[in-house]
Amino acid sequence: MKHSNNTPNKLIHSKSPYLLQHAYNPVDWQSWSSEAWAEAKEKNKLVLVSIGYSACHWCHVMEHESFEDNQTAEMMNLALVNIKVDREERPDVDMVYMDACQLMTGRGGWPLNAICLPDGRPVYAGTYFPKAQWQQIVMELSTQFQSDPAKFEDYASKLFQDLQKLNAALPSQELQFSRKNIYDFFELYAKDIDWQEGGLNRSPKFMLPNQYEYVLDYFLISEDIQAKEFMHLSLLKMFNGGIYDTLRGGFYRYSTDKKWFAPHFEKMLYDNAQLIALYARAYSWSNASVYKDVALESIEFCKRELKSANGAFYAALDADSEGIEGRFYVFTKTELLQVLSPEEFEFAEQLYGITESGNWEHGLNILHTQLAPLQMIEKLNLSSQQYLALLESMKQKLFQLQEKRERPGLDDKIILCWNGLMLKALAVSALHLQSNALLAEAVALESALWNIFYQESTQTLKRIHAKGETYIDAFLEDFGCFIEGQIQLYQSSGNEMYIERAKILTNKALELFYNKDTQQLYFAPNNGEQLIVNKSDNTDDVISSPNSLFAHCLMDLSLHTGNIEYAEIAKGLLSQNMSQLEKYPAWNTNWIRLYMEYAIGQITVALSNHFSEGDIFKFKSGLPSWVHVGKINPKSTLAWLQHNESAEPAIYVCAGNQCFEAVQTLEQAFEIIDEVVSMG
């Protein structure tokens, strides 16, 4: 790579690919450290906290325009102490300054640029700035700070108070669990649905997998046809849009339009992991084979392009290559004509909407499936065998063409949180696609993560592994995602070791993150660096909030271990968020799933050894996600499985605080569960 500056700055010692991207900028970047803040206090300088991540397109644009520019760098070095932060390494820092940006501007995003007093309190924030505007901001703020520091102090104090209010514990509400509320939540959620294109009615469109998990659970207890139609509409529209990579598998980060057509082309592990789990579960629910294809293709993408030699998964692939966003993935008509036969080109032209001028920009075409298989067969007068043969040969040739291109940059950090999501994805897929091979991969991934990130001698969990080193103490989201993955792996494998490991991590997490006085879970550990605000994150966004994730884990482990305190803590967390569920259901869908679990009651199904693994699968595929199914084992560490074996087939169903008399057939067990979960 050619650098605009031959002398590296202090980021050259970093392990983060994002920070290393900036190591040869003429800006005197430093990583987040006590030394950097001490320098700011000593020199009485404003501090720039500039936050991004390696796959961020607009981060690259601002770097090229401003941070690689010698004149701009000279201004920044004179006026500021400049700190670069990889938001994936330090999400705690990112969350604090993103809150500040939202309060100041009403919007957020990356790159996030916050200018702060030497004590860390922000006084100015925004996202991408063109070079001339950025230069003006830097010089004006620096000059004003030197001439009128009291004005800055006054503004920082007021904003700091607003940040504290934003993160104060919400008053707990007495929980009244009502099935009517479950209907009401969905009715309010449905007002924000896009009934033409799926997803929420907005642009740009993010995929938000936890929302569809909620919709599926809601349908399974309500049989609300609206929920079923929305589920299918969204899943079909997403994988038929340009947001899905039809050649290589996997999803891009989000769509810039309402039709899932033109994506930002970065590929993130966290998106793909969650969508794999969603599509696998949707397949076993609906038996729609296309959902299975999407799950398997996306797993193959992750294994081929994100899997590391140590068995865990890297963070992301960049959007850009050859200096152009998406260039690796898109095609000109001429390129297609050069590599495809006339029959294959006609097929691609019709299937993907290829045009001479390009269906996107700069004469480039985004591959998106605009016709269903039967439509293609009819339009081109093909047999089903001809259709499949042409599809396969065309895709292979285009894949090989891509292989000759300059590849997008790889962010080779391994992040525990996102790998926890991938662990869950593989375990869910093993169950719902009934694959022993995928179960073996889930087992191998859990082992790799435990060995890499859990340090038994000190009983600590780490977050990042990169350049051969494991570093940064885990945050709540790392604990939550890893524990959730382990619980799911138990449900898919029946191996109780994963419950034991989940219990070890849960107890450690409560020690590090839970405040009994406020009944809050904080994002950062109480034995780590204290930022200006102690952040508690409750909003379910692209990933479910750490608090709702951990609350679900507590509920599951309360059942599996008999520890009632876990369930009480989860209930306390839910009670603090009830007002948000009622106001903003779309951004609290994982919390609503927890509410539904309380309202309906946890359900366990213990089957005698007369029943097969396929019988277990039948229960898991068509029932809400909180139904726990396993084989009777008198020696189990899990109380709900501790029944004595009998000569006759036996199924023990418990729901909430009620256990029913054992029945002998699957049909009888389903009848009991239907009665329990029925919303009628």
pLDDT 10s digits, 11-66? 999 999 999 999 999 999 999 999 999 999 999 999 999 999 998 889 999 999 99
Q: How confident is the model at residue 173 (pLDDT cuts 50, 70, 90)?
A: confident
Q: How confident is the model at residue 175 (pLDDT cuts 50, 70, 90)?
A: confident
Q: How many CB atoms lie within 10 A of CB 526?
A: 12
Residues 6+ apart with CB under 8 A from 139: 75, 79
The pLDDT, as a whole number, for residue 613 is: 85
Q: What is the mean pLDDT of residues 399-423?
A: 97
With a pLDDT cut of 90, the percent of the chain lying above it is 90
Q: Is the pLDDT of residue 148 over 50?
A: yes
The pLDDT, as a whole number, for residue 2 is: 43
Of 20-29, 324-333, 564-573, 654-663, the least confident: 654-663
For the chain, the average pLDDT equals 95
Cβ-in-10-Å burial (0-12, 13-18, 19+) of 360 comes to middle
DSSP code string of 224-275 = -HHHHHHHHHHHHHHHHSTTB-TTT--B-SEESSTTS-SEE--EEHHHHHHH
Give 405's DSSP letter.
S
Topology of domain 179-321+411-600 in CATH is Glycosyltransferase (1.50.10)
Q: How confident is the model at residue 4 (pLDDT cuts 50, 70, 90)?
A: low
Are 429 and 435 contacting, i.e. CB atoms less than 8 angstroms apart?
yes
The pLDDT, as a whole number, for residue 679 is: 63
Taking the C-alpha atoms of residue 665 and residue 305, their distance in angstroms, rounded to an integer, is 45
Which single residue is written with the structure tokens 């894949």?
Answer: 399
Q: How confident is the model at residue 676 (pLDDT cuts 50, 70, 90)?
A: confident
Q: Give the dihedral sign, CA 366/370/372/377.
A: negative
Which single residue is written with the structure tokens 């998990």?
Answer: 213
Q: What is the mean pLDDT of residues 100-112?
A: 95
> Could you tell me the pTM of the whole model?
0.96
- Tell me the residue type at 342: P
Taking the C-alpha atoms of residue 676 and residue 224, their distance in angstroms, rounded to an integer, is 17
Which residue(s) pair with 653 in the sheet?
Answer: 605
Which of the listed CATH numbers 3.40.50, 1.20.58, 2.60.40, 3.40.30 matches domain 603-677? 3.40.30
Cβ-in-10-Å burial (0-12, 13-18, 19+) of 287 comes to exposed
- Kindly report the CATH number that applies to the domain delimited by 10-166: 3.40.30.10
Q: How many CB atoms lie within 10 A of CB 404?
A: 7
Q: Give the dihedral sign, CA 595/492/215/656.
A: negative
The DSSP H or E segment spanning 466 is: strand 460-466
Q: What is the mean pLDDT of residues 327-348?
A: 97
The pLDDT, as a whole number, for residue 5 is: 60
Q: Is the pLDDT of residue 395 over 90?
A: yes
C-alpha angle 28/31/36, rounded to 5°? 75
Q: Which one, of 187, 182, 166, 194, lies nearest residue 220 by Cα?
A: 182
Domain with CATH 3.40.30.10 in the chain: 10-166
Residues 6+ apart with CB under 8 A from 427: 439, 442, 485, 488, 489, 491, 492, 493
Domain with CATH 1.50.10.10 in the chain: 179-321+411-600
Q: What is the mean pLDDT of residues 257-284?
A: 97
The pLDDT, as a whole number, for residue 171 is: 81
Q: Is the pLDDT of residue 162 over 70?
A: yes
Q: Which one, of 319, 202, 204, lies nearest residue 264 by Cα?
A: 319
Q: Is the pLDDT of residue 3 over 50?
A: no
Q: Is the pLDDT of residue 1 over 50?
A: no
